[in-house]
Amino acid sequence: MPDPTPPDVLLDFRDVAMSFGPTQALTGVDLTVSRGEFVSVVGPSGCGKSTLLRIASGLEQVSAGTATVSSQRIGYVFQDATLLAWRSVRRNVELLAELHHVPKTERAARAAEAIELVGLTGFEKHLPRQLSGGMRMRTSLARSLTLDPELFLFDEPFGALDEITRERLNDELLRLFVRQNFAGLFITHSVAEAVYLSTKVLVMSGRPGTIVDTFEVPFAMPRDPDIRFTAEFATLVGKISHALREGHR
């Protein structure tokens, strides 16, 4: 019998492998995400990062190994905000609570709070097409926040945004992480973003993807935005970028 998952571990992958027909996407993946952790995964294109997240969300079943998710309250934010075009911001934010049969007044209260948390108060009646890309991502974040997730899964949520908007949303996300106390698993192509947001960064190899390196991020939370301009930050980004290149060979 393998050791049981410790109580603080919300996501526990052990020797996970995943194949799609002849394509082996993942092999030997060991990964845990515990309460209080924000874990980022960086890796070359096609190494199986999204597959990892789809397994965590229950959308895919592993081909071998075990993937244990010890929470019912999981939030997801994908690269596309996936908003319903005909629904206002408020009605989009209410959607998940609606699908979970949360009563109407409770739903409205949760949506108002989530909208405030992501800084969209005043935009409740806007339709998605009237919003900027950053505001659409905020709406998507708010929609998940209404379910008060314990574990939040992010698949490159800010990849399509300009640099300034991305930095601002990184700060918002860090603020939410500290305030809402969820654990995070975050996929990104940006090593600097991974270091800035995370307590731990995992580096994946090229396909079949496996974790080749783990870096603890020593900077305190709440994180000082100026940390990004320090020598320690640059050194860690350099080390991880190097590991990424090595793993890609």
Ligand X SMILES: Nc1ncnc2c1ncn2[C@@H]1O[C@H](COP(=O)(O)OP(=O)(O)OP(=O)(O)O)[C@@H](O)[C@H]1O
d(CA 102, CA 98): 6
- Smaller CB separation from ligand X, 114 or 202: 202
d(CA 122, CA 89): 10
d(CA 191, CA 197): 10
Structure-block tokens of residue 38: 């924000």
* Residue 20 CB, nearest approach to ligand X (Å): 3
- Smaller CB separation from ligand X, 17 or 127: 17
* Residue 123 CB, nearest approach to ligand X (Å): 30
* Residue 245 CB, nearest approach to ligand X (Å): 16
* Residue 39 CB, nearest approach to ligand X (Å): 16
* Residue 159 CB, nearest approach to ligand X (Å): 9
Q: Which residues bind ligand X (CB under 6 A)?
A: 20, 23, 25, 43, 45-51, 207
CA distances in angstroms from 168 to 50, 135, 171, 197, 220, listed in the order given: 24, 11, 5, 12, 19
Structure-block tokens of residue 14: 């052990």
- Smaller CB separation from ligand X, 120 or 191: 191
In terms of Cβ atoms closer than 10 Å to its own Cβ (0-12, 13-18, 19+), residue 78 is middle
* Residue 221 CB, nearest approach to ligand X (Å): 27
Q: Is the peptide bond before 208 cis (omega within 30 degrees of 0)?
A: yes
- Smaller CB separation from ligand X, 168 or 248: 248
- Measure the CA dihedral 107/110/112/113, to 10°: 180
- Smaller CB separation from ligand X, 43 or 75: 43
* Residue 54 CB, nearest approach to ligand X (Å): 7
- Smaller CB separation from ligand X, 33 or 204: 204
- Smaller CB separation from ligand X, 51 or 144: 51
Conformational region of residue 101, where left means phi above 0, alpha means psi within -120 to 50, and beta covers everything else = left
Structure-block tokens of residue 104: 């109407």
Give the three-state DSSP class for 76.
strand
CA angle 113, 151, 45 (to 5 degrees): 115
